[in-house]
Amino acid sequence: MVSLARKNLLEDIPRFLVAQAGILFAVTLVTIQTGIFSGFSLSTVKLINNSHADLWVTSDTLVQLELTLPIPVSDLLKARDISGVQRAEGLIFSGAQWFPREGEIERARVIGFNPNSWLYQPERMLEGEIENLNQPYSVIIDTTDQETLQVSGVGDQVQMNSLPAEIVGITESNTSMISNAFVLTSLRNANAYLRAGQTSRVNCQLPQEGSRLECVNVFHPDQQPTETDPEEPPRNLAASDVITFILVEVAPGEEITTVRQELETQLNNVTTYTPDELIQVTQDYWQQRTGIGFILGLGTVVGIIVGIVVVSQILYSSVSDHLKEFGTLKAMGASSQMIYQVIIEQAVWMAILGYLPGMILSLGIAYGININQGTLLLITPTSAIAIFILTLIMCIGSAIFAIQKVNRVDPAVVFKA
């Protein structure tokens, strides 16, 4: 029976290659669609995945990772004295204006952390060292953002908000599909950059007829011009300054549940999350409450539907072409189970021979995209196995529809023809 299934596949080589090309297309389409969705979901929580904290302390207004209010540094100081806390470090995650030497202004995402702590560490340093961020007004960017930020590499100097910024390192795979370019720096530097960008605003007055639009810098009534001097190193954070998150390492032997209850009790207006909980909250937001997650999810579903339709048509056509042979087998006394085995065996071979080149092609496409744009198309061993199982299900499911046509074959009609 196995030889008959192979004979049906290889009887007409050109037709076989066309059929396998259709399955290859279906596998590639499903793999790319699911890969984009996985890459998107991963990129939304890149900041969390680079952390080794046991708990994240955030404002109780948090909606998702990039939508929350700041908390005062005084909460960080209190957290360090709470029983069960081994280490607590601040993390700043906020926006800033990026001014390259040449070209247009860009929006950047400033990530301020303690370079001497392991609670947050960016992955894959290509050039420079994390400790270089201890230098005043130094930053690290990702290699995929060099073109966006219009810098050539380590040593370039630009301006961020109203302060200088020198590139002291380059990372890989520290970027997000839904955020501006990540700019890594120390807490002190990040605080200086954000203070320099929060002190003033531009006030524009509507022009009268025949006159030009006039804009002037004005200061908020409760603010003074920035005290940050580019010639002076950034100061340490004060209790009145603000951060975005507190990263907490729980002491060995302490229960995480107990420590988080103490944090929420002793700190005002905060909520604590484990990394997994914060990942879930953030991914749920992007996948369920925004059009981005819906569109990418819809693309994945459409890819699966197209794959099922393509495979069904190919296999159904193959069975139809060999209908007389199946009718002859039934007339010779072959059982329905034997014929089913031939068709299902044929479907399994089609799945394997279509999956392998389709997955190889998808991995090549993913490599070409990710090496230039960051992790935008993610294919993991788990997803590759899942897609293989899905391909088998598509092919075997299509074979079941084809079997129904064989069941209706009357051997007498075959011999009469």
Q: Are 35 and 62 contained in the same domain?
A: no
The domain boundary, picked from 212, 241, 273, lies at: 273
Q: 72 — phi, psi (to 5°)?
A: -75, 155
Q: Are 262 and 312 contained in the same domain?
A: no
Q: Are 12 and 72 contained in the same domain?
A: no
**Alpha carbons 281 and 279: distance in angstroms, whole number:** 6
Q: Are 179 and 200 contained in the same domain?
A: yes
Q: Are 230 and 107 contained in the same domain?
A: yes
Compute how many other C-beta atoms are within 10 angstroms of the C-beta atom of residue 93: 20
**Alpha carbons 25 and 20: distance in angstroms, whole number:** 8
Residues whose CB is less than 8 angstroms from the CB of residue 325 and which lie 6 or more positions away in sequence, other chains included: 8
Structure-token pair, residue 23: 């399955």
The predicted pLDDT at position 200 comes to 42
**Per-residue confidence in pLDDT tens, the chain, 417 aa:** 446 667 766 776 777 787 778 788 888 888 888 888 888 888 888 899 999 999 999 999 999 999 999 999 999 999 999 999 999 999 999 999 999 988 889 999 999 999 998 899 888 899 999 999 999 999 999 988 888 899 988 989 999 998 999 999 999 878 887 788 999 999 999 999 998 865 444 444 444 555 443 444 443 434 444 445 666 788 888 888 999 999 999 999 999 999 999 999 999 899 999 999 999 999 989 888 877 777 877 877 787 777 777 777 777 777 777 677 777 777 777 677 777 787 788 888 888 888 999 999 999 988 888 776 666 788 889 989 998 998 888 888 877 777 776 666 666 655 555
Residue 280 within any structural domain of the chain = no
Contact between 47 and 244 under an 8 Å Cβ cutoff? The reply is: no
Q: Are 75 and 13 contained in the same domain?
A: no
Residue 131 within any structural domain of the chain = yes
Residue 285 within any structural domain of the chain = no
Contact between 90 and 248 under an 8 Å Cβ cutoff? The reply is: no
Q: Are 63 and 38 contained in the same domain?
A: no
**Alpha carbons 331 and 324: distance in angstroms, whole number:** 10
Q: Are 200 and 227 contained in the same domain?
A: yes
What domain count does the chain have? 2
The distance in angstroms from the start CA to the end CA of the chain is 25
How big is the chain by its Cα radius of gyration, in Å? 30
The predicted pLDDT at position 90 comes to 95
Q: Are 81 and 171 contained in the same domain?
A: yes
Q: Are 205 and 81 contained in the same domain?
A: yes
Q: Are 110 and 26 contained in the same domain?
A: no
Residue 11 within any structural domain of the chain = yes
| Boundaries of domain holding 253 | 55-273
